[in-house]
């Protein structure tokens, strides 16, 4: 429990975090990843290089400091962190490493005039408090997944049962458990963690499930990223019959039960979790508007499957928007970027709806602004980042 004096010190450091938090966290990551190789597999190096991961953690630390007196005001931040940690199998023994490096970074970046013993002591107490919260929540979630039908804890061996090219850049991978046992049913929209050994080095990644896990399989649909270490390995080297280690499904972004009209909006590979959501929604009577934006028809995955669903389910309306016309693929409903005016035409007349959207950051920022301007309640406009969380404002 933090003392009042320690809380006051944490509050007093908020302006420093607002102005220099990203530099502090960048130093923290550089130190930790160089000195503690055992934690490197837990971090996507591409997100480190882009700065996305340091920015996300800096924002999280800042939010924690701002709400040190009212942790309940953190909203869904804790749930998002816990689910990401569980998907990657973060364990209690990882927390002391992070804590020690964070305190060192504070001391080295802020300097001894600011990072006094009292400041370091206050942040040590604050970190330990947060670690206890996360470890407790993660322990409960690990136990819940292990006890559920088809569930497990830690890694489990799966075998690649099928590999299907869905577009010029997206391929689907179907995994079945090597032990032939049942699998944990995931909520539509959740993701799984994956453990690989590449060139003698362990790496871990999260991938959204692109289909309901109701047939004993997990399907992910992966975009080949230029220079992407894992995506290129999956596309080029993983073959049918190969084994892979998977962690149980996780994630706090999933389709919730409702009788309101459902709108699913995706850009590029952001389509993947919306496919499972669509499958689940079509098992009910709620109307669904499915809006997908792609670079062009060749990059558009699952179009034939979606068109077939629309023919068989009158409750489903689907709309396609391509940034460009490749002159070969079937035409889209709109060529260009998704504008507010175009979205207004494709939304249900009733704006008391549930909207879920995913895609590149700029795309998501525009969709969020459009939905707000068109009268969709903020609490019914939901989104998730594939990588580290960022601000859409």
Kindly list the catalytic residues: 95, 138
Q: Is 180 left (phi over 0), alpha (psi -120 to 50) or beta?
A: left
DSSP SS3 for 1: coil
**267 CB-contact burial (10 Å; exposed 0-12 / middle 13-18 / buried 19+):** buried
User: 309: which 2 tokens?
Assistant: 């669903």
Identify the three-state secondary structure at position 264. strand
Please name every residue paired with 291 in a beta bridge, in sequence order, or none if there are none. 265, 319
How far apart (Å, rounded) are the C-alpha atoms in residues 391 and 393? 6
Residue 164 forms beta bridges with which residues? 172
Ordered alpha helix ranges (H), the chain: 4-12, 14-35, 45-50, 52-66, 77-88, 95-110, 117-147, 229-236, 271-281, 303-312, 340-346, 361-373
Tell me which H or E stretch contains 167: none
What's the chain's length in residues? 393
**Quick one: tokens of 258?**
């409702």
Helix axis angle, 14-35 relative to 52-66, nearest 10°?
130
Angle at 99 between CA 94 and CA 105, to 5 degrees: 130
Closest CA to 126 of 114, 118, 136: 118
The residue among 122, 127, 132 whose CA lies nearest residue 8 is: 122
Can you name the residues that pair with 160 across neighbouring β-strands? 175
Pairing mode, strands 201-208 and 218-223: unpaired
* Angle at 339 (CA atoms; ends 373, 208), nearest 5 degrees: 90
Contact of 175 with 161, CB cutoff 8 Å: yes
């Amino acid at each position: 429990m933090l003392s009042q004096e320690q809380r006051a010190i944490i509050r007093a450091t908020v302006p420093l975090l607002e102005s220099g938090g990203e530099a502090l966290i960048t130093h923290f990551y550089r130190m930790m990843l160089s000195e503690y190789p055992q934690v490197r597999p837990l971090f996507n190096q591409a997100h480190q290089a882009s700065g996305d991961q340091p920015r996300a953690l800096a924002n999280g630390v800042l939010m924690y400091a701002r709400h040190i007196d009212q942790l309940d005001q953190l909203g869904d931040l804790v749930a998002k962190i816990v689910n990401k940690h569980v998907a990657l199998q973060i364990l209690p023994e990882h927390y002391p490493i992070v804590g020690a490096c964070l305190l060192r970074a504070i001391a080295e970046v802020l300097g001894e005039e600011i990072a006094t013993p009292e400041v370091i002591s206050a942040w040590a107490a604050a970190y330990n408090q947060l670690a206890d919260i996360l470890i407790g929540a993660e322990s409960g979630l690990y136990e819940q997944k292990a006890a559920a039908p088809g569930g497990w804890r830690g890694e489990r061996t799966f075998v690649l049962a099928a590999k299907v090219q869905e577009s010029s850049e997206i391929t689907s991978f179907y995994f079945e458990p090597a032990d032939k046992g049942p699998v944990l049913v995931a909520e539509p929209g959740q993701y799984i963690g994956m453990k690989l050994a590449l060139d003698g080095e362990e790496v871990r990644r999260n991938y959204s499930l692109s289909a309901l896990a109701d047939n004993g399989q997990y399907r992910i649909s992966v975009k080949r990223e230029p220079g992407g270490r894992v995506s290129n390995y999956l596309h080029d080297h993983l073959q049918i019959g190969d084994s892979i280690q998977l962690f149980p499904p996780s994630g706090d972004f999933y389709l919730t039960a409702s009788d309101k009209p459902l709108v699913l909006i995706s850009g590029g590979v952001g389509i993947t979790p919306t496919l499972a959501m669509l499958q689940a929604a079509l098992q009910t009577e709620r109307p669904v508007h499915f809006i997908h934006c792609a670079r062009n028809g060749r990059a558009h995955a699952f179009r034939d499957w979606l068109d077939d669903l629309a023919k068989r389910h009158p409750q489903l309306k689907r709309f396609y928007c391509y940034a460009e016309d490749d002159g070969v693929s079937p035409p889209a409903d709109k060529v260009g970027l998704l504008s507010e005016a175009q979205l207004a035409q494709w939304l249900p007349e009733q704006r008391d709806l549930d909207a879920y959207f995913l895609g590149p950051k700029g795309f998501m920022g525009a969709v969020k602004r459009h939905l707000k301007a068109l009268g969709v309640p903020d609490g019914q406009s939901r989104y998730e980042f594939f990588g580290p969380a960022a601000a859409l404002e």
